[in-house]
């Protein structure tokens, strides 16, 4: 079975949607294995643009979509997204979308406490989306989460709500925020049960059957390695493990089933929200990258911070993320720049280092060490072969390969799905 896992190799928003869509057309099953509706993929198919947050991208291609147990699921967000894409002509239902019966649910109290805590932090806020992702993962780890399967057992649901509200109402009251009533939440969840339970199943069994049938499975990551709760720029990270190793735990397969790991990276660097960003540009070039790259969050609409390609950071993501090949996106955004810079290391308190340290103060002090390369004046937009690229653009890509210690196996030159240069097939194993 030749499976592929796709993860971000920077801070997210690398253009995973297009790459996943391209790969999904050749897969049988597409699996979301972590995160929630705090991340999104934009897919451009013909004259339609689909903005997905929870739905696996494969549904756009008529493939079976699976939401794994590693996701935290907001029922209202999911049902709203299903309704929206149905309005765009997509057929989505229990026949082509399956959800792990043990997936934790995001309840209305989770975004409430998320926002209250961010407000209390003031200038020290983390920059969460306020959608309750972190608090939902906290409940999962603390063993008090409401899971999808609980909706089929009203008595279990009632008992678990008691414990959940004991914790969250205490916090909300302490933060000066409005508390929640048990009966309101119970009634809401019982009303959702008939809408959600038809999607529920033991998805690990389905994936095991897929393994025996030699079906192709695509594991679709959200966010990126440098937002991983363990390996990212902590505490300015997401609340889940975004590395490919979590595709197994977050969907219910063994580690052998993850397959080839493809990391997605932009030809430059962006970040949304707070946190260190050594190569960030506050000048006209940074503004130009943002405008040409249309750098606004799919889910939040927030403008992204922009900067030069950080090879030191991506090399780190390649190592801890298990990346075997890179898909480099948005090369065309660099068209017309006379010179380009690549970060090859950092200077911290006078010392040169080749990795971003784990300590927050050291990360904040990291000054980029740049290597300068010649730019190109020709357009790379829509190129579908190496022969269509300027020699200096090829040199830029090859230098990235050397610095990050991973081959570029796929090069994207526009948002269009077919504007892609394939070097090697990830599904070939």
Tokens of 137: 């993962």
Nearest to 425 by CA among 56, 2, 10, 71: 2
Cα separation values, 79 from 54, 70, 76, 170, Å: 10, 19, 5, 30
Q: What is the largest CA-CA distance in the chain?
A: 67
- Would you say how long the chain is, in residues? 429
Question: If you search the block for the tokens 């606004």, which residue do you land on?
Answer: 296
Which ranges constitute the DSSP H helices of 213-346?
Answer: 246-249, 284-292, 311-321
Identify whether 419 is a catalytic site residue: no
CA dihedral 9, 14, 20, 23 (to 10 degrees): -70
Q: Report the distance separating Cα 328 and Cα 142, nearest Å.
A: 38
Identify whether 13 is a catalytic site residue: yes
Ramachandran class of 240: left when φ > 0, alpha when ψ lies in -120 to 50, beta otherwise = beta
Ramachandran class of 369: left when φ > 0, alpha when ψ lies in -120 to 50, beta otherwise = beta
Question: How many CB atoms sit inside 10 A of residue 374's CB?
Answer: 14
User: 21, 37, 41, 114: which is the annotated catalytic residue?
Assistant: 41
Residues with a known catalytic role: 13, 41
């Amino acid at each position: 079975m030749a499976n592929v896992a796709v993860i971000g190799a920077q801070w997210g928003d690398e253009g995973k949607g297009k790459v996943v869509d391209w790969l999904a057309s050749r897969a049988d099953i597409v699996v979301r294995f972590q995160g929630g509706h705090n991340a999104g993929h934009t897919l451009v198919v013909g004259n339609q643009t689909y903005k997905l947050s929870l739905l696996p991208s494969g549904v756009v291609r008529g493939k079976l979509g699976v939401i794994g147990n590693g996701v935290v699921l907001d029922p209202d967000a999911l049902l709203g997204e299903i309704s929206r894409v149905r309005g765009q002509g997509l057929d989505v239902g229990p026949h082509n979308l399956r959800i792990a019966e043990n997936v934790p649910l995001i309840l209305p109290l989770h975004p409430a406490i998320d926002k209250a805590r961010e407000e209390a932090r003031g200038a020290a806020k983390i920059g969460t989306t306020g959608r309750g992702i972190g608090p939902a993962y906290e409940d999962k780890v603390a063993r008090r989460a409401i899971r999808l399967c609980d909706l089929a057992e009203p008595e279990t649901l009632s008992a678990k709500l008691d414990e959940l509200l004991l914790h969250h109402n205490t916090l909300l009251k302490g933060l000066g925020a409005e508390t929640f009533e048990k009966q309101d939440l119970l009634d809401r969840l019982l009303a959702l049960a008939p809408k959600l339970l038809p999607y529920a199943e033991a998805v690990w069994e389905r994936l095991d059957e897929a393994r025996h049938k030699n079906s192709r499975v695509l594991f679709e990551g959200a966010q990126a390695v440098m937002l991983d709760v363990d390996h990212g720029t902590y505490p300015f990270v997401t609340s889940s493990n975004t590395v490919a190793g979590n595709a197994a735990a977050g969907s219910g397969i063994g580690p052998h089933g993850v397959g080839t790991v493809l990391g997605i990276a932009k030809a430059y660097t962006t970040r949304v929200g707070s946190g260190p960003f050594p190569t960030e540009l506050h000048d006209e070039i940074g503004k130009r990258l943002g405008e040409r790259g249309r750098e606004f969050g799919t889910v939040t609409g927030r403008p992204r911070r922009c900067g030069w390609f950080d090879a030191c950071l991506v090399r780190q993501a390649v190592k801890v993320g298990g990346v075997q090949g890179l898909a480099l996106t948005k090369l065309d955004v660099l068209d017309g720049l006379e010179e380009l810079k690549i970060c090859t290391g950092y200077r911290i308190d006078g010392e040169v280092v080749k990795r971003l340290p784990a300590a927050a103060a050291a990360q904040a002090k990291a000054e980029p060490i740049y290597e300068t390369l010649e730019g190109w004046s020709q357009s790379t937009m829509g190129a579908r072969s190496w022969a269509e690229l300027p020699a200096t653009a090829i040199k830029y890509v090859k230098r990235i390969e050397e610095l990050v210690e991973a081959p570029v196996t796929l090069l994207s030159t526009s948002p269009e799905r077919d504007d892609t240069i394939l070097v090697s097939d990830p599904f070939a194993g």
